[in-house]
Structure 1
Amino acid sequence: MRSLVSINGSSEQSSTENLPLFIKKNSTGKGLQYNQVSSFPPSLILSNNLLVGPVLSSFGHLVKLHVLDLSWNNFTGPIPDELSNMSSLEVLNLAHNDLNGTIPSSLTKLNFLSKFDVSYNNLAGDIPTGGQFSTFTNEDFAGNSALCLLRNSSCSKETSFVENAYRKKSKGTLVALGLGTAVGVVFVLFCAYVIMSRIVHSRMQEHNPKAVANAEDCSESSKSCLVLLFQNNKELSIEDILKSTNNFDQAYIVGCGGFGLVYKSTLPDGRRVAIKRLSGDYSQIEREFQAEVETLSRAQHENLVLLQGYCKVGNDRLLIYSFMENGSLDYWLHERADSGALLDWRKRLRIAQGAAKGLAYLHMSCDPHILHRDIKSSNILLDENFEAHLADFGLARLICAYETHVTTDVVGTLGYIPPEYGQSPVATYKGDIYSFGIVLLELLTGRRPVDMCRPKGSRDVVSWVLQMKDEDRETEVFHPSIYDKENESQLMRVLEIACLCVTSAPKSRPTSQHLVAWLDDIAED
């Protein structure tokens, strides 16, 4: 547990004594196989234990913790303000307890919080606004009868408004008449909209018989839903998808994304594809689904994963991609027992070139330009020839050609997020460059961006590499399987590029076009 507290508060111990508590990211029966302890997020899961008493404020010292689950217990008292000090927290689950008081507004400071659940307690007052709280749904706060679910006004304001309405009957009558008139107008407009929508829909179907199956038109049990394919292929139904994955059996799982599992599949025409089945909070998966479809339908490049089709079935969202035979770069570098020994330097350099070309296309050639916002080794997929393909555009944002940034919540993956994102909610091209620099360091060193299993001083790959450079020990950072005198010149040049990418000053980082030119020049040597 000491390794979950700030570095200043921990004592010098061996790396094995510093292991935090880890769990698997997925909750399926078999689970996914991980070969390294560092693959698991540092988590503290105390759910379903009949625990009693207050939630301890000392949890706030666990600044390295990613997941805190105290649900389904008998905790009482307020939610401590100190939880806002858990700066790395991604999941906070306090559901099904007897907590009271208000939700601390200081929790809006948790920039990485992607899941927050306080349902079925005795909480009261307003729900905080700002930060990640704008992404949470009412279901995350359900079962708290005194909690105000109106995000735009306080409960007290709502109550006083109702009381004043009863006191001033004449004004209430006028309001009622006004509302009645407004409702009548809205009803007429709605009828006109429905009629026009049906006309437009029928005309669209004449030109596009493979319309996407909407939730209103098709239930999950239906076998006739069509899958929309971007290429002119023969008709494919949801029944074909279910057969090809044996009803999404766990044996077909090949990966785990931020919002769902990925299954391998062989379509009736013999094509092998990967199917991402989005799951979780409906509003979040709908945003993920729309982002992937919108981005990948606009972006077509040999170094991007090809989106072949998609489908809506009830609350399910399916995305169909070309199958990448060799999985992710993360798997080859960190999950295999050989620790990436089969990836020689030539393959690694070609992977870096391909990923840079895909990123340069998104930044400069695609119209509109695209910020990926989640560049990392697990989002670089490798085909049968180890050619790199950028994947997972669920966090991507389209921006106009004349813009250089987009204002947004802090997103991405810890270890790959540039330092400036913690100070300003502005995503930029240079943020993607920083993340790409981390991937280059992974290719060179074989290390993860952050590895809590390593001794203090070498857990953060950026700090470690920069320190080794200051001590003129650059050659010691390279993975043993790729370092030799023949490759040394190329390795040193790529290391210099990586260090430029991860510099703390965004303006000093190169563009993606520079990366392509430099890496191609190195490969030609």
Structure 2
Amino acid sequence: MVVFSGGMVGVSRHTMLYCAILVLYDLILSFAKLYRGVLTLYLPSLHVVPYQFVSYTVLLCPCMQLYHSLISRKIVRYLIVMQEGDALHSLRTNLIDPSNVLQSWDPTLVNPCTWFHVTCNNDNSVIRVDLGNAQLSGTLVPQLGLLKNLQYLELYSNNISGTIPSDLGNLTNLVSLDLYLNSFTGGIPDTLGKLTKLRFLDLSNNNLSGEVPSTGSFSLFTPISFANNPQLCGPGTTKACPGAPPLSPPPPFISPAPPSSQGSSASSTGAIAGGVAAGAALLFAAPAIGFAWWRRRKPQEHFFDVPAEEDPEVHLGQLKRFSLRELQVATDNFSTKNILGRGGFGKVYKGRLADGSLVAVKRLKEERTPGGELQFQTEVEMISMAVHRNLLRLRGFCMTPTERLLVYPYMANGSVASCLRERPPSEPPLDWTTRRRIALGSARGLSYLHDHCDPKIIHRDVKAANILLDEEFEAVVGDFGLAKLMDYKDTHVTTAVRGTIGHIAPEYLSTGKSSEKTDVFGYGIMLLELITGQRAFDLARLANDDDVMLLDWVKGLLKEKKLDMLVDPDLQDDYVEAEVESLIQVALLCTQGSPMERPKMSEVVRMLEGDGLAERWEEWQKVEVVRLDVEMAPPNGNNEWIIDSTDNLHAVELSGPR
């Protein structure tokens, strides 16, 4: 609270009263303009404040600089948080949410930073809304344009309809707009061309119509961004608009004729020989000409090649640099039918190269920054040097001014997550022996990243969906190095918490700092996925009054001595109980709250091989007993009942390793 003394030099009581009236006027004006969406503020430091907000108080009142620097900024920041919460709540009311994904978007909680699928910066401004693949329908609202600091709007793979609000053009900090695979109609707003920071745009697989704008940021994007919208036309597509000149593919490359080394005296001989050769060539080429004429009747597919960016100082050894056209041909122009999956880093397409080999092409979707190309290539080289039987090998990459693509071998058996939860009824489930082999193989791969790579590689998103399976169902860790790769705009600092709800270590979520122990936590959750067959985070468990977090659900069942209810029903009791207990013990050791108490991945490997688990488990049980003694002791200090009964400890619900 600021107190103005009557004895302050040069400030009369009349002046102070006048200033108080102006302050009140200022606040009313600010509220009104904020409500109307007119007020524009610059966060986080508020170095610039619009003239309308400053109004008369700073100009006429002594000490009002102090008022504006201390009081009004806090008020304005609070108002902005309220405005962003109102905007997101308006979105919620306009969307149909059969899976209750937006259940946490409670309007009584003013700060939207506490809601699931919303990410904020240190100033509590919303910078990311991630509602991809959430089974949402309904329409978008123009209030989204009030999220002035929003950088990522992820609404892919839903059934949202209606038009794309032109107000999205007010999101001047937007880096990524992903509306892939929805039911949007109407035209593409010209206002999106004003988004100078936009580096990823995916409007493909909708029902958009009209001409694709060609001004502003639209000039950066290839037809991939607009594919499978049959009614779209213009330079960003493969179809010309009515009345416009037809689009044509790039002219074929014609090699220059070699210079003649003969004089004019040989010209007649050359002409005769040329005529004979031409006649023979025509005779043999007749079938080919007929075939070409037949092919012309078929619709032609247009591909757009983009010059690649490369730095001659980076030597990538055997790593192949693909052209964008090569990958377009391999994936049938990034056809929807070739999509293998998608995640936080982008979509993955199945492709077939010219040599017949199958590949998985990952199209990255993140901010491109000037000067980041060399850093990107350096990180790609680092990933390619991590070679281990349990790590996914990088085969090549493609880089253009607006595209980053990575090429990997195709994994025929998909991921652990797909085998656990998305397998066709005709296919058998993963048996227990295979699950144990997956646990050990993935641990070895992560241990290699931590202990044998220089610099060490932190995965930051270890989960069942990122553990792939080759033809022999051998575990192969995928997506490693991508978290660092996608943060190449800031060489030394992790710029965002990357991971999946339910797998993120608590210290990583609270501080944004990752370490090897972050991966250990994610690995422990992945072990629980292997054992239970369940998701790490599942709102469906609320229907049975169970915990939505898999770790909490497992601990609850262990406390109730219901070990048999933990095991995946697909196994049909075909497992070794002692081995299940051992894996659960390893999982609980890996998911301890303190990162210092978690084992290293190399220790995890040894424990899975039968070395050291008994000692580590016994040590942890003692620590748990002491900790719970302190937490649960009665006020009178008499805690003998705890020592006599340990039924409350999930740590002792399992027998020791066998």
Tell me the TM-score range normalised by the shorter chain.
Answer: 0.5 to 0.7
Amino acid in the other structure paired with 1:344? D
Q: Which moved more, 1:313-322 or 1:221-230?
A: 221-230
Listed one character per residue, the Cα deviations across residues 206-239 of structure 1 (whole Å, up to 9, x for unaligned) are: xxxxxxxxxxxxxx82388699996659996544
CA distance in 1 between counterparts of 2:534 and 2:117 reads: 20
Superposition deviation, residue 267 in structure 1: 1.6
- CA pair 268-487 structure 1, distance change in 2 beyond 3 A: same
- CA pair 422-332 structure 1, distance change in 2 beyond 3 A: same
**What is the aligned partner in structure 2 of residue 248 from structure 1?**
334
Contact 2:350 2:361 in 1 (8 A): yes
**What is the aligned partner in structure 2 of residue 440 from structure 1?**
527
**What is the aligned partner in structure 1 of residue 626 from structure 2?**
none
2:527 maps to 1:430? no
Contact 1:408 1:427 in 2 (8 A): no
**What is the aligned partner in structure 2 of residue 392 from structure 1?**
479
CA distance in 1 between counterparts of 2:581 and 2:449 reads: 27
**What is the aligned partner in structure 2 of residue 335 from structure 1?**
422
2:66 maps to 1:66? no
CA distance in 1 between counterparts of 2:483 and 2:420 reads: 25
CA distance in 1 between counterparts of 2:358 and 2:125 reads: 46
TM-score normalised per structure 1: 0.58
CA distance in 1 between counterparts of 2:309 and 2:128 reads: 42
Superposition deviation, residue 335 in structure 1: 1.9
Query: What is the DSSP-based 3-state SS (H/G/I as helix, E as strand, rest coil) of the residue aligned with 1:375?
Result: coil
Superposition deviation, residue 288 in structure 1: 11
CA distance in 2 between counterparts of 1:352 and 1:322 reads: 22
**What is the aligned partner in structure 2 of residue 370 from structure 1?**
457
Amino acid in the other structure paired with 1:66? H
Listed one character per residue, the Cα deviations across residues 367-418 of structure 1 (whole Å, up to 9, x for unaligned) are: 11111111111111111111111111364349xxxxxx97653221111111
Superposition deviation, residue 259 in structure 1: 3.4
**Match for residue 548 of structure 2 among 441, 448, 459:** 459
Q: Which moved more, 1:425-434 or 1:438-447?
A: 425-434
**What is the aligned partner in structure 2 of residue 308 from structure 1?**
395
Superposition deviation, residue 461 in structure 1: 1.0
Superposition deviation, residue 274 in structure 1: 0.9
**Match for residue 304 of structure 2 among 221, 229, 236:** 221
CA distance in 2 between counterparts of 1:122 and 1:261 reads: 25
* Structure with the largest fraction of strand: 1
- CA pair 489-241 structure 1, distance change in 2 beyond 3 A: same
Amino acid in the other structure paired with 2:361? I
CA distance in 2 between counterparts of 1:281 and 1:441 reads: 34
CA distance in 1 between counterparts of 2:534 and 2:374 reads: 32
Contact 2:591 2:598 in 1 (8 A): yes
Contact 1:310 1:319 in 2 (8 A): yes
- CA pair 444-260 structure 1, distance change in 2 beyond 3 A: same
Query: What fraction of aligned residue pairs are identical, expressed as a percent?
Result: 36
Q: Which moved more, 1:240-249 or 1:341-350?
A: 240-249
Query: What is the DSSP-based 3-state SS (H/G/I as helix, E as strand, rest coil) of the residue aligned with 1:426?
Result: coil
Which runs of 5 or more structure 2 residues have no equivalent in the other structure?
Answer: 1-94, 133-138, 156-164, 179-189, 198-302, 486-491, 614-656
Superposition deviation, residue 123 in structure 1: 7.9
2:565 maps to 1:506? no
**What is the aligned partner in structure 2 of residue 76 from structure 1?**
none
CA distance in 1 between counterparts of 2:592 and 2:524 reads: 9
Superposition deviation, residue 64 in structure 1: 5.0
- CA pair 251-291 structure 1, distance change in 2 beyond 3 A: farther
- CA pair 242-501 structure 1, distance change in 2 beyond 3 A: same
CA distance in 1 between counterparts of 2:191 and 2:320 reads: 48
**What is the aligned partner in structure 1 of residue 413 from structure 2?**
326
- Aligned pair count reads 372
Contact 1:60 1:85 in 2 (8 A): no
CA distance in 2 between counterparts of 1:497 and 1:238 reads: 44
Query: What is the DSSP-based 3-state SS (H/G/I as helix, E as strand, rest coil) of the residue aligned with 1:481?
Result: helix
**Match for residue 474 of structure 1 among 560, 563, 579:** 563
2:446 maps to 1:359? yes
**What is the aligned partner in structure 2 of residue 188 from structure 1?**
none
**Match for residue 416 of structure 1 among 492, 499, 503:** 503
Amino acid in the other structure paired with 1:447? Q
**What is the aligned partner in structure 1 of residue 255 from structure 2?**
none
Query: What is the DSSP-based 3-state SS (H/G/I as helix, E as strand, rest coil) of the residue aligned with 1:396?
Result: helix
CA distance in 1 between counterparts of 2:131 and 2:595 reads: 29
Query: What is the DSSP-based 3-state SS (H/G/I as helix, E as strand, rest coil) of the residue aligned with 2:448?
Result: helix
Contact 1:65 1:86 in 2 (8 A): no
CA distance in 2 between counterparts of 1:448 and 1:302 reads: 27
**What is the aligned partner in structure 2 of residue 42 from structure 1?**
101
Listed one character per residue, the Cα deviations across residues 444-486 of structure 1 (whole Å, up to 9, x for unaligned) are: 0111011111232232211111112222222321112336476
CA distance in 2 between counterparts of 1:138 and 1:64 reads: 21
CA distance in 1 between counterparts of 2:551 and 2:176 reads: 40
CA distance in 1 between counterparts of 2:113 and 2:497 reads: 21
The structure number with the bigger radius of gyration is: 2
Query: What is the DSSP-based 3-state SS (H/G/I as helix, E as strand, rest coil) of the residue aligned with 2:586?
Result: helix
CA distance in 2 between counterparts of 1:450 and 1:360 reads: 25
Contact 1:333 1:340 in 2 (8 A): no
CA distance in 2 between counterparts of 1:287 and 1:345 reads: 45
Contact 1:332 1:340 in 2 (8 A): no
2:574 maps to 1:488? no
Contact 2:338 2:351 in 1 (8 A): yes
- CA pair 378-123 structure 1, distance change in 2 beyond 3 A: closer
Contact 1:67 1:90 in 2 (8 A): yes
